[in-house]
Structure 1
């Protein structure tokens, strides 16, 4: 499914696999495997592809039916997992429009990214369970259950779980660029 969507988006932009590979920094061979759904790309690979296509990450999973009202059933949510960073994101919103809502699950010692990164958006995170460190522009903000943090996502940022228990949180971003 993700491979077909990437191929469609690449074709819409009249890009070859080689051109997208250069723009994203993802090897052509890997892109071909992903587009054929023969390889599951990592979260970092998907971020690179989305950035090269100038799209929010979760638009790679977007369905083409633009309904005015969307009900997203728990079992039908789009899920992205990064085994190396210990984070899983589940899209709670439909993935179109001006707002993106994600549910995050971060394992102890995990992070949302190896290094802080930025994207053109505004973000608010709410901790549902556990503790979360929000790193923005080199400053850390420690949140506990019920705490929230709002920031300009164009500043380099990432989420960290420095505790011993998993952390669950909700992210709202506008416009979608995750």
Structure 2
């Protein structure tokens, strides 16, 4: 699914595989393999491809049906996993509109990204289980179960799990740009 979507978006923009790869800072072979569903790109590679296409990350998984009411079943959520950083995201909103809601799961010692990054949104995170450090512009904000943190996502940020247990959290971002 994601390979087909990337190919469609690349073609709509009149880009070759090599041009998209250069803009994203990834190998042409990776783009080619992803488009043919021969490889699963990392979360970091997906972020770079989305940025090169000037789109939010989860728009790469966007559903074409613009229904006014959407029910997203737990077993059919779009999921993105980064094994190297210990983070998994599942989209609980339909992937269109002005609001994006994600469920995050972060392993002990894990982080949402190797380095802080930014995107044009506002974001609110709510900790469901465990502990979470929200690093924004170099400042750490420690959250416990039930705590939330709101911030301007254009500031460099990332999430860290300093605990010895997994952390579960919900992120709401508007407009969608994750």
- After TM superposition, the score normalised by the length of structure 1 is 0.99
Q: Indicate whether 1:139 and 2:139 are aligned.
A: yes
**What is residue 88 of structure 1 aligned with on the other side?**
88
**In 2, distance between residues paired with 1:123 and 1:63?**
22
Task: Tell me how far apart the structure 2 counterparts of residues 65 and 10 of structure 1 sit (CA, whole Å).
Answer: 20
What CA distance in whole angstroms lies between the structure 1 residues aligned with 2:79 and 2:33?
Answer: 20
| Pairs within 5 Å for 1:149-160 | 149-160=149-160
Superposed displacement of residue 26, structure 1: 1.0
Query: What are the equivalent positions in structure 2 for 1:86-125 lying under 5 Å apart?
Result: 86-125=86-125
- Look up the SS of the partner of 1:127 in the other structure: strand
TM-score by length of 2: 0.99
Query: SS at the partner of 2:59?
Result: helix
- Considering only aligned residues, what root-mean-square deviation do their CA atoms show, in Å? 0.4
Q: Which residue matches 1:49?
A: 49
Q: Supply the distance in 2 between the matched residues of 1:98 and 1:113 (Cα, whole angstroms).
A: 24
Can you list the C-alpha shifts for 1:124-154, whole angstroms capped at 9, x where unaligned? 0000000000000000000000000000000
* Structure 1: gaps (5+ residues): none
Q: Which runs of 5+ in 2 are unaligned?
A: none
- Taking the TM superposition and a 5 Å limit, the aligned residue runs for 1:30-69 are 30-69=30-69
What is the deviation of 1:14? Answer: 0.7
Q: What stretches of structure 1 move > 3 A for 4+ residues in a row?
A: none
Tell me the SS of whatever aligns to 1:15.
Answer: coil
Instruction: Give the aligned length.
Output: 178
Q: Are 2:129 and 1:129 equivalent residues in the alignment? A: yes
Separation in 1, partners of 2:121, 2:16: 28
